[in-house]
Structure 1
């Protein structure tokens, strides 16, 4: 059994590499929204964590999580294809979940492309459940799928 790769907070110098990974691995064929400036703002934002996994000082994976009043929103998660299936995504998600628990949020939400079967399987394996559809969410007309994971029992109303 191998140890999970270490996760750390991104620093401003990481913004360009993270933006390029977003463009190439997540936003392919879509308008590029997570450019260097936006990533840099996220790194500097007190209610956002930008976490990375490195190998030989090179970023091989990252996640961006925004913290809101009652939930956290996982904006992006990407792993370099040459480093997939080695635990980096799981490590990033566990680290971000632990941070969300410390922040006191009830649940984590995210949105994935409805046609992204590998992402849906991964998040399902990590305890996320599909809770909604956002029609025509992406500029190419693909629907978005809302997933969520409760971090603590739901409060009775």
Structure 2
């Protein structure tokens, strides 16, 4: 756990709040795939970190990062609208990046909706580079933008 903001690993009791926040902020208008049971499974998965920030007992931010062979994949990251642009998202992402480094990952990958300029700008400002566009990635036909950040030097040819 860290302070300012207090980032900690999620526990199964956090799953309902995380799922609801995902539905509201990330998956609205899309099929709801991060339901409470899936979030609980991620919390229990040894190859996944689910981190949360709670203030005054309320969930204000969360992130879900999966650890693969040499890459980490940031599956979800959300901050309540009333807490955006306060540094909470930046602190949470830095915490997750630190965990990925400790896990030995060389790169973090994430995908954002191409029409979500705020998210793409957020990631760009934190060193993520757009590497590809996936046409029609989302069920509503919106394109996806793949981003990545190298934590260690990229492997040579």
The TM-score bracket by the shorter chain reads over 0.9
1:93 aligns to what? 93
**Aligned-residue offset at 1:6:** 1.7
Unaligned residue ranges in structure 2 (runs of 5+) = none
Unaligned residue ranges in structure 1 (runs of 5+) = none
The 1-side partners of 2:85 and 2:121 are apart by 13
- State whether residues 30 and 140 of structure 1, in contact with CA within 8 Å, keep that contact through their aligned partners in structure 2: yes
Equivalences, count? 155
Q: Deviations over 1:125-157 (max 9, x none)?
A: 000000011111100000110000000111223
Q: Does 1:11 align with 2:11?
A: yes
2:45 aligns to what? 45
Mapping of residues 63-74 of structure 1, within 5 Å: 63-74=63-74
Secondary structure in structure 2 of the residue aligned to 1:16: helix
* TM-score of the pair, normalised by structure 1: 0.96
Give the ranges of 4+ consecutive aligned residues of structure 1 lying more than 2 Å apart after TM superposition: none
The 1-side partners of 2:108 and 2:4 are apart by 21
Q: Does 1:121 align with 2:138?
A: no
2:80 aligns to what? 80
**Aligned-residue offset at 1:72:** 0.2
The 2-side partners of 1:32 and 1:9 are apart by 23
Secondary structure in structure 2 of the residue aligned to 1:153: coil
Q: Deviations over 1:30-68 (max 9, x none)?
A: 000000000000000000000001101211000000000
